[in-house]
Amino acid sequence: MTPRHLQSSCRFLVCIALMASALLVCARPGFAADKRPLVLKAAIVYNFTGFANWVDSDRKAPLNICVSEDADIAAALQAISAAQSNSSKPVVMLLTRERLNECDFAYLSKSATQSEFPAQLLEIGAVTISSERGFTDIGIIELIQVGRQHRFEINNTLATNAGIELSSRLLRIAIRVH
């Protein structure tokens, strides 16, 4: 295997491990069944960190995942991160105006998508993510629930304009790329 194929295989295995961690969190006794979709959504957001590279940037691990106002997904992201043994695992923090420049990835709630955050985050080269309908008009990744499945749509033009290169593997599994 070439080093590039080996790296790609390792990323895939890490993604499988993260999903397994999320499922283990969900399977704990006392874990509310209604929290499972939230944990799976958090695992998907966490997995995005392995599929983005910044062109002309010196960003190094650990990456920062900022979360706006949605404490539930923040807690699920922190639980997934804590379950990882990797020393360069992403750091989860709340999105604030003061810490905006520290964000590499940002999960935005409904109210945050209607603020200046999406444009400011794109300007600093952060991967913006939200579950809000039509988010890819102003952000990079929109999470979409199709039945019981969580899928996503990508605005690769915005990503490219922000200096972000998304993996071709991620682009292939998106339900829509524009």
Q: Give the pLDDT confidence of 143-168 residue by residue, as tens digits.
A: 999 888 899 999 999 999 999 999 99
Q: Which pLDDT score, from 0 to 100, does residue 38 have?
A: 85
pTM score, whole prediction: 0.80
Q: Give the pLDDT confidence of 59-107 residue by residue, as tens digits.
A: 777 899 999 887 678 889 988 988 887 777 888 999 999 999 999 999 9
DSSP calls for 114-171? TSSHHHHHHHTT-EEEE-STTGGGTSSEEEEEETTEEEEEE-HHHHHHTTEEE-HHHH
Q: Give the pLDDT confidence of 11-45 residue by residue, as tens digits.
A: 444 444 444 444 444 444 444 556 788 889 999 99
Q: Which pLDDT score, from 0 to 100, does residue 34 have?
A: 65
Question: Which secondary structure element, helix H or strand E, spans residue 111, and what is its range?
Answer: helix 110-113
* Residue position matching structure tokens 């990744």: 141
Q: Which two tokens stand for residue 40?
A: 């799976």
Question: Which secondary structure element, helix H or strand E, spans residue 73, and what is its range?
Answer: helix 71-82
Question: Which secondary structure element, helix H or strand E, spans residue 107, and what is its range?
Answer: strand 105-108
User: What is the maximum alpha-carbon separation in the chain?
Assistant: 46
What is the set of domains in the chain, with CATH numbers? Answer: 3-177 (3.40.50)
